[in-house]
A and B are shown apart, each in its own frame.
Chain A
Amino acid sequence: MSTRLANHGRLIDRSKKVTFTFNGTSMQGFEGDTLASALLANDQMMVGRSFKYHRPRGVVASGAEEPNALVGLGQGNRFEPNQRATTTELFNGLTSVSQNHWPNLEFDVGAINTHLSRFLPAGFYYKMFIHPKPFWKHVYEPFIRQSAGLGKAPDKDSRDADTYEHFYAFTDVLVIGGGIAGLQAAKAAAASGAKVLLIEQTAHWGGRAPVDGGTVGDEPVDKFVEQLVSELETMDNVTMRNRCMGAGVYDHGYVLGYERLTDHAPGAQGPRHRLWRIRAKQVVTATGAIERPLSFAGNDVPGVILASAVRDYVVNWGVTPGDRVIIATNNDDAYRTAITLKQAGVDVIRVVDARSSAGLLAEEARQLGIRVDPGKAIAKVKGGKRVKKVELCNQDGIGGAREEVDCDAVAMSGGWSPVVHLWSHCGGKLIWDEANAHFRPDPKRPPLGADGDGFVVAAGSANGPLALGDVLTDAHAAGKAAAKAAGHKPKNTKAPSGDATEEAAMEPVWLMPANADIQLRMKSWLDFQNDVKVSDVQLAAREGYESVEHTKRYTTLGMATDQGKLSNINGLAILADALDAEIPKVGTTTFRPPYTPISMGAIGGEARGEVFQPIRRTPMHDWHDKNGADWEPVGHWRRTYAYTRPGESVHDAVNREVKNTRENLGLLDASTLGKLIVKGPDAGKFLDMMYTNMMSTLKVGKCRYGLMCSENGFLIDDGVVARIDDDTWLCHTTTGGAERIHGHMEEWLQTEWWDWKVYVANVTEQYAQIAVVGPNARKVLEKLGGMDVSKEALPFMEWRDGKIGDFDCRAYRVSFSGELSYEIAVAASHGQAFWDALMEAGKEFGVMPYGTECLHILRAEKGFIMIGDETDGTVIPQDLGLNWALSKKKEDYLGKRAHLRSHMADPDRWKLVGLETVDGSVIPDGAYAVGEGVNANGQRNVIGRVTSTYYSANLGKGIAMGLIKHGPDRMGEIVEFPGTDDKTYKAKIVDPIFFDKDGEKQNV
């Protein structure tokens, strides 16, 4: 059984007990435990079920590479699925549940799949779910959805209880990984004076070195690490962060760091995760190496653990995964585990070494009384939910002549693979190292920065070297190289000399025994999480999959949440063997960020809740909110759709506002309209290019409605332009157009007409602008007093500066409603007071505020177009009957030449008309007009569409505008609009001006 040892455990504090639960059972651990070490200490060998066959799964690793020990962590608003027990620090009150089983972990109905595994081979889903086609939606998809996913999604009503943030960091040298290599590289880089940021994913510095042992100089390696850490801590130019993982390396030295601040102390003040958005001149990846499993039958049984992980559990947390352990290896390093276990008082039954001979560590093991069997292999591990027996055989051969041995844990080591993920994220290339049978970074082909030089340097075992001395030498050189590349002068120092027992060469072992028969291969796991076995990859090869990327997708090898950290190289080797190709010829799959999954919260950062998205507010926003505003988003602005009164529906409110504005007095907050000042000796010439109609001839004091087209001739904006003085114009844009049109103007000025003397400034937000609309508009302004707003003093389409009441203002006599109307601009900080004054003075004239829907209906009654309704980026002024606004006098303007193209001049273009339903109903928004016959796809031919449609309370019926083929020539004809409600709406084509055709009401 797995159990806590009486001694060992350098990371735990035995005086501090921690209580937690697993599947509802209360358990005890110590401060410093990971959830994985604490579960093992409680003899919880089985911690979950695999994805496909629902096989029992136990802890197999001790860090970020863990594929099996994934749990649902926390409860309610803090529940998270798929959390790795090996990287979860234990805390009091932690609750965890295992995943992917029903009804429970011990008895899982889904485990029947393991007996069906002959029928669920590689590519099963692709083979099974193709035919017949109609089955997909009703049979296959529900089935796949049911069985998909490991952990449960959080409850839909729960809300993440924590906060998150981003932080922008800048450094000369970023060192990723705080193991002995990262620490040494950081020191070497920092000695040059370079600014160094050192990040480490775990809570501890030093990585594996204190577990693996050895000496540096005259000291044990753990003392050396301690000194190195304290030395770095005192350096002003070094910043160190643990619990901070290098998640991804991107172009231009951009790196994401994922800092877990309060995962180990939930509910503590401050954000839970912080996403570091780092700009580094140079990046050192000191990310270490990961031990590979061995592929033998039953290597997925709980209790079969990586040899290095077993050593970690003993040394770091004082936990042994078994009392009687068998070790299987193809290299010397695993003997360290044998020695460690033996010294901790655990029975090491024997070491089976696939090689014929081993090195000094094996000798040391033998001297401790451990039996070493060279040339041997594990044929099969027996046991379901935990290891019970192991059958041993010769490595050479098919696995016959087996010897059965009792044991309760197996430690396996298939050699080491450098963690090359971060090196590879941005294009760093790899080379195959024959001696260690692994891919390592090719220093000649690093990821390249903007200058064409490499910006990533790999250090320590992430770069290939595995022995302590070589690691230190390599890391020291890497730190110096990075500092130099970052523009600093490294100190001429030597790496400290590290010393560890010399190791004999490893031998690649991709299958155990070497020629295992199919029965064994069908039980030899490559990918523990996704249930991919040796036989699956071999089948894929037989079926013609040669590319590793295709094989990956076909078999799902490496596609689980661990992204194949343990399975990649083994799977690749099996594929290469099956294809009779060399491993480097087959190549690797692509490494993509993040290194391990990071939280969605960290990605979103602060952008949630109130600051999920900026909401732009006018100076009168709060008043609207308090007075029944039903909000509508317009760009990032919030505008009032309608002001509802208690008990009133939005529809009723709109109808009330529509009638009142036509009959009495309405106020509209028009502050969101864009206002651009265009000034300079060439401003008139410039605006003549920007607008389709003439603006240079506009007289000071007057206004003109203008249209803007893109250079492709399509309508992009409209608005009223006022001439302020000889060389100054003020251009109104649509609400959504202010920034866009400002940018449009700047672009033409900066890139095409850079020699024209014109400056543009966006003054949209300087003003609160209020439309005072209706037959009583003049009366309310006259009541407030101040400037003369009579027809004579301020005629239609003119503007004046002056005072209304006490307010300095600019009054524009413009109308988008067809009513007598003024738009009054005051400084934004007086906006609310001015609105209040108008509301107060307007009482006797029946004043009511109105919203954007009323605005829309009023303009539609008048046949005025709206950018974004009547236009959609494909509409030209001619389509909307706006030919009058296209200047014939001007030699050129943006869009003019485009309008000459054949398709633009095509008489078959859909053109704007009014639409009046035969029965007074309202045509659904976006409805299409259908014509005779069907198209090639058997669909009804379409001859037009609705662009705006409303119920007009003033006219007592539905009104609409639409674009119809040959529309203006078909006045009086009836057109059909099928709705999505199975009704067909019939509408008569009419003039788009429904109300006050002669414009008498606005011109009083």
Chain B
Amino acid sequence: MSEPISALNHASFDGIAKVEECGLQGMITLRGNLKDKVLIKAVKDAAGQKVPGQREALVDGDTGVCWMSPDELLVLVPYTEVEAKLSAMNNVLGGTHALAVNVSDARAVFRVSGASAREVMGKVAPVDFSTDMFQPGQIRRSRLAQVAGAFWMDDDQTFRVVCFRSAADYAFKLLKVAAQPGSEVGVY
């Protein structure tokens, strides 16, 4: 097998915030009844986390679970482990009505970090990024200007931003423009 290559192969940019493509991240879309005990166990086994509540992201590094909708989760696992985790998950789910699919290669992941990271995000997503409204532990499924995007915070100054792989080039250039030198807003 060839060496897997992420959409932008770790491109990065330094402006009022640092924008980096993070490389490949294992991701499983899990749809099902989020209150189902079997599903809850499958999630726990795969990511070591409980099922998150609405707009909650329980993420530690490259492992975790994010709430995506009332019947959808995004399970994060290391890229190299995704197939194993997926089949383990399907084993646990057994006859439970659910859908778990590998979407790792369908996505691009960026890190936006630095003192102005919240402002950079506030230029592209219609979300209140003030510290009292958006914190590590929360996720938004929203948009990045003209494309779909989801994001959560790893710490108070660091966002992880997910978009579709085909839009990676757009998203990176977009974040670069939003992080251009001299463009601090001075709000957050």
Contact = CB atoms under 8 A, between A and B. Distances in A.
B187 interface: yes
Contact of A759 (B99, B133, B167): B99
Contact of B1 (A614, A615, A765, A808): A808
A610 B105 contact: no
Interface string B114-157: 00000100111111101001000000000001110000000000
B84 interface: no
Nearest to B79: A829
B13 interface: no
Contact of B105 (A271, A614, A767, A807): A767
Interface stretch (A371-379, A673-681, A811-819): A673-681
Interface string A627-652: 00000000001000000000000000
Contact of A761 (B29, B105, B122, B181): B29
A232 to B, nearest CB: 15
Interface stretch (A161-169, A466-474, A842-850): A161-169
Nearest to B166: A616
A168 B6 contact: no
A270 interface: yes
B24 interface: yes
A828 B105 contact: yes
Q: Give the interface centre of A163, A277, A828 by most chain B CB atoms within 10 Å.
A: A828
Interface in A12-32: none
A759 B177 contact: no
B45 interface: no
Given A167-B122, A167-B123, A277-B126, A617 B1 contact: no
A807 B4 CA distance: 11
A722 to B, nearest CB: 14
Contacts of A269: 181-183
Given A268-B182, A606-B177, A830 B4 contact: yes
B98 A759 contact: yes
A121 B54 CA distance: 66
Contact of B106 (A277, A765, A807): A765
Contacts of A268: 182
A168 B123 CA distance: 6
B173 interface: yes
B103 interface: yes
B2 A765 contact: no
A180 B82 CA distance: 61
B103 to A, nearest CB: 6
In this complex, the interface size class of chain A, counting residues with CB under 8 Å from chain B, is 35 or more
A270 B147 CA distance: 24
A703 to B, nearest CB: 19
Interface string B15-36: 0000000001000010110000
B76 to A, nearest CB: 16
B125 A168 contact: yes
B2 A239 contact: no
Contacts of A195: 130
B5 A832 contact: yes
Nearest to A270: B182
A606 B105 contact: no
B25 to A, nearest CB: 11
Main secondary structure of the interface of A (DSSP, over half): mixed
A784 interface: no
A765 B7 CA distance: 11
Given A606-B178, A681-B97, A828-B105, A614 B167 contact: yes
Contacts of B133: 170
Contacts of A615: 169-170
Contacts of A759: 31-32, 71, 97-99
Given A268-B182, A613-B146, A830-B1, A165 B164 contact: no
B111 to A, nearest CB: 18
B165 A619 contact: yes
B10 to A, nearest CB: 13
B104 interface: yes
B180 interface: yes
Interface in B60-112: 71, 97-99, 101-107
A285 interface: no
Interface string A842-880: 000000000000000000000000000000000000000
A37 B97 CA distance: 74
Contacts of B122: 167-169
A808 B2 CA distance: 10
A167 B187 CA distance: 10
* Candidate in B105, B166, B183 with the most chain A CB atoms within 10 angstroms: B166
B3 to A, nearest CB: 8
A166 B105 contact: no
A97 to B, nearest CB: 29
B126 A168 contact: yes
B187 A239 contact: yes
Contacts of A765: 105-107, 164-166
A767 B29 CA distance: 15
B40 interface: no
B11 interface: no
A165 B126 CA distance: 13
Contacts of B107: 765
A270 B124 contact: no
B148 to A, nearest CB: 9
Contacts of B164: 616, 765
Interface in A745-796: 757, 759-761, 763-767
A828 B185 contact: no
B149 to A, nearest CB: 11
A677 B99 contact: yes
A936 interface: no
A160 interface: no
Interface in A806-837: 806-808, 827-830, 832-834
Contact of A165 (B103, B123, B170): B123
A606 B174 contact: yes
A541 B185 CA distance: 51
Given A168-B126, A616-B167, 6 more contacts: A169-B187, A274-B185, A761-B29, A761-B99, A764-B106, A828-B106
Interface of A: 163, 165-170, 195, 239, 268-271, 274, 277, 279, 605-607, 610-611, 613-619, 637, 677, 679-681, 757, 759-761, 763-767, 806-808, 827-830, 832-834
Q: Which 7 A-B pairs have the closest CB atoms?
A: A269-B182, A270-B182, A833-B2, A616-B166, A829-B4, A759-B99, A765-B106
15 contacts: A167-B123, A167-B185, A167-B187, A168-B125, A270-B183, A271-B180, A606-B124, A606-B177, A611-B173, A615-B169, A615-B170, A617-B168, A618-B166, A619-B7, A765-B107
